[in-house]
Amino acid sequence: MAIAIAVVIIIWIIENIVGILGLALAGWGLYELSYRKKLSTKLSSVFIAVGLVVGIGWFAFSGSGDESKQLATAPQVTEQAQPAKQQNEPPNQISDKTQQEKPKAATPETNQNAQPQPSQNANESKNASQDAKYIAATVVEIVDGDTIKVKIGDKEETVRLLLVDTPETKDPNEPIQPFGPEATAFAEKTLVGKEVRLEFDGPERDKYDRLLAYLWIGDKIFNQMLLEEGLARVAYVYDPPYTHYEEFIEAEEKAKAEKKGIWSIKGYVAEDGFHEEVAVAKEPEPSSESEPAQQQDVYYASCAAARAAGAAPIYKGEPGYRPALDRDGDGIACE
């Protein structure tokens, strides 16, 4: 123990010999100044001053250097000691500590405050992608229930509504089909002059160069509105899957259950379209000669049907009269 202390003292003296000599010089100058007085007062003062500066300066510098050295070496000692400690710990504790030592990720609030621009750009890209899905247009004319003319910019386009079919009103080779005029009137009332959006779902044009689209007005799809009113059937499902097919089928089934519009005539709607001939109800013959004939509801799909039945012209109030057959509104249909 004594040897170890002596070794430590010797090492300390060697390392700090300059400081010790400086203090010794200052002590000798003080001794000469106070007791011996063989040196002049000025020279003794110089020795004292130089010795103090050298001694105190050395120990002050040496102390700050040792402190810096300890700070520099401390992390290395800790890092070297840590693996040795972890070897004695269970694997799960080592993993947990490793995860705890990892730098914490910035909180969402920090990221939001530090870098708002990337998030804003992402939202703008998403909105731009959604806007690109639709084309803004203005409705200028109704051809019939499922065919609309719109203006896109300076160009006029004809739009054929996707997945729906309304009764015919414009075919020169076919009679006007029941509920065709009603579908056209509904479209005119709902759409003419309105700002709409076109949504494409598959091929954008048909063989007649018409745009094939869902037509949005506000937050509703007009195609679906026709189905809900019983003025159209789901048809022309050529290229499934379609985005709004399930909603359209649901709307059609609801109108069918409620017997609205085209579904009010049994057998009128078929897979291949509309059968207007079944819409003409014939007057039943009297059950006996003694019973007067009872007036029944009569429906003529067109004036051609009324003429074929020998009922034309039909005056307002008579069986079979309806405004759709009275084009000029004078109270006489199929004149």
The reply to whether 284 and 248 lie within a common domain is no
Structure tokens at 40: 């002049």
160 is catalytic: yes
Catalytic residue among 157, 210, 233, 252: 210
Per-residue pLDDT tens digits for 234-272? 999 998 899 999 999 999 999 999 999 999 999 999 999
Long-range Cβ contact pairs of 300-308 (< 8 A, separation 24 or more) = 300/325, 300/334, 301/175, 301/176, 301/177, 301/178, 301/276, 301/277, 302/175, 302/176, 302/276, 303/175, 303/333, 303/334, 304/175, 305/175, 305/276, 305/277, 305/280, 306/333, 306/334, 307/334
Expressed as residue numbers, the domain containing 63 is: 2-88
Q: Please write the tens of the pLDDT for every residue from 137-176.
A: 999 999 999 999 999 999 999 999 999 999 999 988 889 9
State whether 226 and 287 are in the same domain.
no
Prediction pTM value: 0.49
- Cα separation, 128 vs 125, in Å, equals 5
Q: Which residue has the higher pLDDT, 306 or 132?
A: 306
Evaluate whether residue 306 is within a structural domain.
yes
Catalytic residue among 32, 168, 228, 252: 168
Domain final residue, candidates 73, 88, 103? 88
In a domain, 184, yes or no: yes
- Whats the size of the chain, residue-wise? 335
For residue 139, tell me if it sits in a domain: yes
- Considering the domain architecture, whether residues 229 and 255 belong to the same structural domain is answered as yes
67 and 157 inside one domain: no
Name the active-site residue from 32, 157, 160, 229. 160
Mark whether 287 and 255 lie in a shared domain: no
Q: Are residues 233 and 205 in the same domain?
A: yes
- For residues 261 and 293, membership in a common domain is answered with no
Q: Tell me if residue 210 is catalytic.
A: yes
Residues 203 and 319 in one domain: no
Q: How many domains does the chain have?
A: 3
Q: Is residue 127 part of a domain?
A: no
